[in-house]
Amino acid sequence: MRIAVIGAGALGLYYGALLQRAGNEVLFLLRRDYEAIIRQGLTVRSIAGDFHLDQVRGYRSPGEIGPVDLVLVGLKTFDNRLLPELLPPLLGPGTRVLTLQNGLGNEEALADLWDPGRVLGGVAFLCANRGEPGTVHHLGAGHIFLGAYKQENTSAAQETAQLFRDAGVRCEAVPDLVRARWEKLVWNIPFNGLCALLDKPVDALLAHGRSRQLVADIMGEVVAAANAQELSNSLDEALVGTMITFTEAMGPYRPSMQIDREEGRPLELEAIFARPLQRGKERGVAMPRAEALLALLEMAVGTGG
Amino acid sequence: MRIAVIGAGALGLYYGALLQRAGNEVLFLLRRDYEAIIRQGLTVRSIAGDFHLDQVRGYRSPGEIGPVDLVLVGLKTFDNRLLPELLPPLLGPGTRVLTLQNGLGNEEALADLWDPGRVLGGVAFLCANRGEPGTVHHLGAGHIFLGAYKQENTSAAQETAQLFRDAGVRCEAVPDLVRARWEKLVWNIPFNGLCALLDKPVDALLAHGRSRQLVADIMGEVVAAANAQELSNSLDEALVGTMITFTEAMGPYRPSMQIDREEGRPLELEAIFARPLQRGKERGVAMPRAEALLALLEMAVGTGG
């Protein structure tokens, strides 16, 4: 299968590398890593075993890539404004587009530009960071839940999930993508937000009584907001405890938003905070702690508005 | 009147200087400013007019001061652990002790060491910072509401208020000290906390929609907690708007907790946050934003517990 990866950060490079290793023709749209990858290929340093791809197809513009069977979108969500320029050259009659981005609003951004029936969304539980150019570090997990944006279109989701499984990724097609997105927000809102604000890794937050309680309380707010969204079935309150246990196993992991802030990039506040808070508010769910965290993050990075 | 000032930070130096200028014998217990004040006196740079005191009585230990008529306590609240050592040498049969410290628990700390009927508390609305050693900057306001710790003892409060008025300070004796303390907490909890966390002055917080709303929401939580404390009369919800307007006039003011953090001192989290939150909790008042702020401050300064 011919697959384009746009937004080749840690997530795009990691899954793209696995898909290529499994025999697919993967075409990477590259910025920072272009020179290094063209010269020396792509290295994955992974808890599941390191590997190196000698020959990697890297491109500077989507026009050089042309139409593909599947577009994998790993852009930072604040770069979705680039989609009208990046996406069309990659589209052919049967192209499917899968976003593995964080937060809410990403499938909608794609469905503005392409047949909504060919839009898929996925939630990746992946701990990965970029290393030096041409290297990606896979630190933990990596499973994906994916679903069709239009719920009726399940064969596309099933086939795409199979593609990832064939590449060695634990991947499941889920009937309710919205539910999967909210489930990940239960993790993303507290950990991305608090780690980015305080510049502390996840284990630091869990090591102290009050901040651990704050994590749990924010998670509870997100569960409540999720369960006001007419999901196919409700998120269980017990998810809070499960996610905290899962996070403890990560050690001093730094979430993507913390790294974005350290490296001076914008933060994904719209997709991960503002839209979910808006959806909660529309359904009358109070999210005082998550709202406070958004206000603090905006002040901290100087985008208070 | 013979007055000892212990905890001669901006507040102690400022009010001590005014009381001396009005003819009282003021004896300052000094640490950082000792050398400078002994050598060259004390300079007050004030919006109400600068003045300089040539001769200032500064001491290294309370034993050198001996018994006084009034002890003015301006210690940082985390230094209340020093009171058992600092206070006794200053006490004579009629000594009154007035704390102008922030937060809750200060009168109690004094009443553990001295006749509770001689303990007074005051709430100072003073914008002041220390400058170079021997100089204090008075930037705004300065009025005091004070009351007896034991409410029946009102003549002591009246006489002490008169002492301050004679020194040019707007000062009122109030019948309900607990109410006055909570009223100031409505300001202190959001502004001290948020400015210290974000290292931004008060006007930055008020300049952006979401953080301004957060300030107002936290104030609302403190008003609700206050009004669960059986005050003589309730705090008005309109206080929130009044205080925000009052704060806007301060410009880029940096609250004491922000300066404490910048200068690497401990923060007054126990008196200004933990005790008020505990009192709110005991009365069943939810303070999710103020609680979140305490957790964040503890993490930020590494005292998470």
For residues B283 and B220, what is the distance between their CA atoms, to the nearest angstrom?
16
Measured between CB atoms, which of B197, B213, B294 is closest to A210?
A: B294
Q: Which of B202, B217, B293, B296 is the mutation pick for testing A, counting most A CBs within 10 A?
A: B296
pLDDT averaged over chain A? 95
What's the pLDDT band for A151 if we cut at 50, 70, 90?
Answer: confident
Q: What is the pLDDT of residue B151?
A: 75
Per-residue pLDDT at A2 exceeds 50: yes
Q: What is the pLDDT of residue A302?
A: 86
Tell me the pLDDT tens digit for each residue of A171-223: 999 999 999 999 999 999 999 999 999 999 999 999 999 999 999 999 999 99
Q: Which two tokens stand for residue A96?
A: 């499917």
What's the pLDDT band for B304 if we cut at 50, 70, 90?
Answer: low
Q: For residue A123, which phi and psi values (nearest 5 degrees)?
A: -120, 115
Q: What is the pLDDT of residue A304?
A: 58
Shortest distance between the Cα of B246 and any Cα of chain A, in A, equals 21
Tell me the pLDDT tens digit for each residue of B191-234: 999 999 999 999 999 999 999 999 999 999 999 999 999 999 99
Query: Which of A215, A13, A279, A142 lies closest to B291, judged by CA?
Result: A215
Q: Which of B195, B200, B202, B210 is the mutation pick for testing A, counting most A CBs within 10 A?
A: B210
Q: What is the CATH number of domain B178-301?
A: 1.10.1040.10
pLDDT averaged over chain B? 95
Shortest distance between the Cα of B296 and any Cα of chain A, in A, equals 7
Q: Residues of A near B (CB-CB distance < 8 A)?
A: 194, 197-198, 200, 204-205, 207-211, 213-214, 217-218, 288-289, 291-296, 298-300, 304-305
CATH 3.40.50.720 correct for B2-175: yes
Number of helices followed by number of strands (H, E) in chain B? 14, 10
By the 10 Å C-beta count (0-12 exposed, 13-18 middle, 19+ buried), B269 is classed as buried
Q: Taking CB atoms and an 8 Å limit, are B204 and A296 in contact across chains?
A: no
Q: Which two tokens stand for residue B106?
A: 């200060």
Tell me the pLDDT tens digit for each residue of A259-299: 999 999 999 999 999 999 999 999 999 999 999 999 999 99
What torsion, rounded to 10 degrees, do the Cα atoms A73, A226, A247, A138 define? -10
What's the pLDDT band for A305 if we cut at 50, 70, 90?
Answer: very low
Tell me the pLDDT tens digit for each residue of B105-143: 999 999 999 999 999 999 999 989 899 999 999 998 899
DSSP character string of B92-135: -TT-EEEE--SSSSHHHHHHTTS-GGGEEEEEEEEEEEE-STTE
Q: Which of B206, B212, B214, B277 is the mutation pick for testing A, counting most A CBs within 10 A?
A: B214
Q: For residue B147, which phi and psi values (nearest 5 degrees)?
A: -155, 165
What's the pLDDT band for B8 if we cut at 50, 70, 90?
Answer: confident
Q: Taking CB atoms and an 8 Å limit, are B208 and A288 in contact across chains?
A: no
What's the pLDDT band for B154 if we cut at 50, 70, 90?
Answer: confident
Which uninterrupted H or E stretch holds B225? helix B209-226
Judging contacts by C-beta atoms under 8 Å, the chain B residues touching residue A288 are: 217, 288-289, 292
Judging contacts by C-beta atoms under 8 Å, the chain B residues touching residue A207 are: 304
What's the pLDDT band for B64 if we cut at 50, 70, 90?
Answer: very high
- Please, are residues A177 and A149 in contact by the beta-carbon 8 Å criterion? yes
Q: What is the pLDDT of residue B305?
A: 47
Measured between CB atoms, which of A198, A298, A300 is closest to B299?
A: A198
Judging contacts by C-beta atoms under 8 Å, the chain B residues touching residue A213 are: 295
Query: In chain A, where are the structural domains located?
Result: 2-175, 178-301
Give chain B's end-to-end CA distance (angstroms, integer): 44
Cα A270 → chain centroid: 14
**Residue of chain B whose alpha carbon sits nearest to that of A198:** B300
Measured between CB atoms, which of A208, A298, A305 is closest to B304?
A: A208
- To the question of pTM greater than 0.95 for the whole model, the response is no
For residues B238 and B230, what is the distance between their CA atoms, to the nearest angstrom?
19
